Amino acid sequence: MKLRDTQKQLLRTLPGVDTLLDALSAELPPHTVPRSVLIAAARDALEATRRAIFNDEEPTIDLASVITLAQARIETQMRPNLRPVVNGTGVVVHTNLGRSLLADAALERIMAVGNRYSNLEFNLSTGKRGLRYSAVEELICEITGADAAMVVNNNAGAVLLCLDTLVNGKEAIVSRGELVEIGGAFRIPDVMTKSGGILKEVGTTNRTHLRDYEEAITDETGLFLKVHTSNYSIVGFTAAVSVAELVALGTERNIPVMDDLGSGTFVNFGHYGLTAEPTVQQSVAAGADIVTFSGDKLLGGPQSGIIVGSKKQIEAIRKNPLTRALRIDKLTLAALEATLRLYRDEAEAVAKIPTLRMMTMSRDETEVQAKALIKTLSPLPVTTQTLALASRPGGGSLPLLELPSCCVGITLPGMGASALEKAMRKSHPPIIGRIENETYILDPRTLQEGDDSLIFEALSQIVEART
């Protein structure tokens, strides 16, 4: 390609890598950016500028503009990939945005054991090796009424581990209405196959009776499996068999019953004016041999899978070699223990566990927050309004439940809702909202302390960039 004289002239004025590096270093506090990042940014900026000259995109090139380009690259490189976002969607247990926020007490325990040795697997009374689950087993039993408990990495792992142990190549009888798929391709039939068990479907999609289970029993039956349909609901002409009924049949025929609750909760949401979700205590009281549930859905703790049940079954599960592959790490264990301790007093749990606090937030509280946000935004040239909408629990919990919320609609003159949504998402930190009826919406239910000023900052920048 033949370059014109003006282009050659521009290329000659480009700074060298060393000049650029010196200029960049001079602007940064010492040792804040690794030299490798500086060099890569300087090279990238020079290369991009050269390309702009070749393509006739940039009429004037000076050191300042190349420095600005390099600085933008350094900023991108130095920004953590996993970083906080503002959740204005109103979805409380938002799987894509990190599910549950940890209680302060949980964070304190992570800090306490994170940079110290701990008795993770060390019995301080005997001075011998201990069990990692002992930090939480008694607490879980105390809260749920179960005889024994253990924890793994997540509930998907708990289900796999339990099926692998309990079914062990035999048949597990499941209702056709409960063959759940969870997001991320976790499907009960596939997990069953992976565990080496054989799934025996009974009943129909909308109605399954006790006799369906009874008639399916053979010498090969190893388990009755109940799965809580946590992310969908079968309504209308329906019938399902309760855990208690299955336990009665199972006891008579010597078949254990497993109940996968998914979004396990220790709190009866019925007491807070919400749809009652089956509690772990209810399943245990009904006599289920094994109950599995998530630590970071409605429970509001760290990602984990909790298994409670009879001593005999938990003992067998602990001996399964898969346990090692699914084991919970110490930071999670520390956070889980702290979260569980809050459940000893339900009022404390509801006040201090962010997921429960947001779930039980009244419409009036959201209105107070909405008005405060509108006040914060009032100096900006944007139009705001309160809107009566609904938040969702999310995360595969309470699929039909809508939590009445007072939301804030934000409009920027001359900017469409989707352009605003995108600009907010690209802010630092990213602000994630939703669009309803062509209006950009932020739901105060999921906003945290300090988010109002972050929203103000982001909107100011967007307004500024357009003028």
Measure Cα distances from 49 to 17, 56, 434 in Å.
13, 10, 37
| Residue 75 CB contacts under 8 Å (≥ 6 apart), including other chains | none
Q: Which residues pair with 435 in a beta bridge?
A: 440
For ligand PLP, which is the closer residue by CB, 23 or 326?
Answer: 326
DSSP-derived letter for residue 279 is B
Read off the tokens for 373: 């946000």
For ligand PLP, which is the closer residue by CB, 203 or 393?
Answer: 393
For ligand PLP, which is the closer residue by CB, 296 or 421?
Answer: 296
In three-state secondary structure terms, 23 is helix
Give residue for tokens 């201090």: 352
From the CB of 324, what's the least distance to ligand PLP, in Å? Answer: 18
From the CB of 157, what's the least distance to ligand PLP, in Å? Answer: 7
Measure Cα distances from 24 to 13, 29, 46, 211 in Å.
18, 10, 13, 76
From the CB of 356, what's the least distance to ligand PLP, in Å? Answer: 17
Spatial separation of the C-alpha atoms in residues 294 and 302, rounded to whole Å: 9
For ligand PLP, which is the closer residue by CB, 300 or 305?
Answer: 305
Read off the tokens for 117: 């040795």
From the CB of 262, what's the least distance to ligand PLP, in Å? Answer: 2
Spatial separation of the C-alpha atoms in residues 352 and 105, rounded to whole Å: 8
For ligand PLP, which is the closer residue by CB, 227 or 407?
Answer: 227
From the CB of 229, what's the least distance to ligand PLP, in Å? Answer: 7
Spatial separation of the C-alpha atoms in residues 192 and 167, rounded to whole Å: 9
Closest CA to 228 of 179, 261, 193: 261
From the CB of 156, what's the least distance to ligand PLP, in Å? Answer: 3
For ligand PLP, which is the closer residue by CB, 222 or 396?
Answer: 396
From the CB of 29, what's the least distance to ligand PLP, in Å? Answer: 42
Q: CB-based burial of residue 115 (10 Å sphere; 0-12 exposed, 13-18 middle, 19+ buried)?
A: exposed
| Residue 140 CB contacts under 8 Å (≥ 6 apart), including other chains | 146, 149, 151, 306, 308, 340
For ligand PLP, which is the closer residue by CB, 188 or 338?
Answer: 188
Closest CA to 260 of 234, 235, 223: 223
Spatial separation of the C-alpha atoms in residues 281 and 118, rounded to whole Å: 31
For ligand PLP, which is the closer residue by CB, 46 or 172?
Answer: 172
For ligand PLP, which is the closer residue by CB, 305 or 394?
Answer: 305
Helix axes 330-342, 134-144, angle to 10 degrees: 30
From the CB of 347, what's the least distance to ligand PLP, in Å? Answer: 26
Spatial separation of the C-alpha atoms in residues 314 and 42, rounded to whole Å: 58
For ligand PLP, which is the closer residue by CB, 180 or 458?
Answer: 180
Measure Cα distances from 97 to 174, 272, 341, 403, 414 in Å.
32, 25, 25, 19, 30
Contacts to ligand PLP by CB under 6 A: 154-156, 159, 180, 182, 186, 227-228, 230, 260, 262-263, 294, 305, 396
From the CB of 148, what's the least distance to ligand PLP, in Å? Answer: 20
From the CB of 300, what's the least distance to ligand PLP, in Å? Answer: 13
From the CB of 59, what's the least distance to ligand PLP, in Å? Answer: 54
For ligand PLP, which is the closer residue by CB, 90 or 396?
Answer: 396
Element (H, E) at 284: helix 280-285
Measure Cα distances from 386 to 89, 301, 377, 389, 443 in Å.
15, 32, 13, 9, 10
